[in-house]
């Protein structure tokens, strides 16, 4: 859920829990966790949402995120894309005289573009008549 700054304070509550790491702020949709997170020696920043009572909603929320992420993190599409990239690299990139030469990637079995012969012919005739 993306909330603009003008509506943020109508959702955020008064209870704030501050610790050494992230800060928890109570809201109408549960606790919002934000702030620095240390991971493998590096410091990252993030924002999380925690639901306290989600026994019935857990299944619905999981279904929502699966539907919401369709096409974005589909593993089969990702694997197919990697296979296509490896195939392109193996068949379309050559090294000639110390330079790499790559062919333009084309989609396989794509429909041919329509010819504009009739339009071009009509326009040419109109120009000739003028």
Q: List the chain domain ranges.
A: 5-52, 69-106
Task: Give dist(CA 9, CA 15) in Å, integer.
Answer: 13
pLDDT digits (tens, 9 = 90+) for 13-63: 888 888 777 788 888 877 787 777 766 666 666 656 555 554 545 566 677
Q: Which residues contact 93 (CB under 8 A, 6 or more apart)?
A: 100, 101, 102, 103
Q: Compute how many other C-beta atoms are within 10 angstroms of the C-beta atom of residue 84.
A: 13
Counting every residue written for the chain, the total comes to 130
pLDDT at 41: 65
pLDDT at 57: 57
> Helix %, strand %, coil % for the chain, to 5?
40, 30, 30
Q: Which residues contact 38 (CB under 8 A, 6 or more apart)?
A: 21, 44
């Amino acid at each position: 859920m993306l909330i603009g700054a003008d509506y943020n304070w109508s959702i955020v509550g008064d209870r704030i829990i501050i610790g050494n790491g992230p800060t928890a702020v109570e809201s109408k949709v549960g606790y919002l966790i934000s702030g620095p997170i240390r991971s493998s020696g590096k410091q990252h920043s993030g924002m999380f949402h925690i639901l306290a009572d989600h026994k019935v909603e857990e299944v619905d929320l999981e279904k929502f995120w699966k539907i919401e992420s369709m096409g974005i993190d589909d593993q089969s599409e990702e694997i197919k894309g990697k296979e296509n990239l490896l195939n392109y690299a193996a068949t379309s990139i050559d090294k000639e005289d110390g330079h790499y030469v790559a062919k333009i990637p084309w989609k396989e079995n794509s429909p041919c573009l329509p010819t504009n012969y009739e339009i071009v012919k009509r326009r040419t005739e109109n120009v000739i008549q003028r």
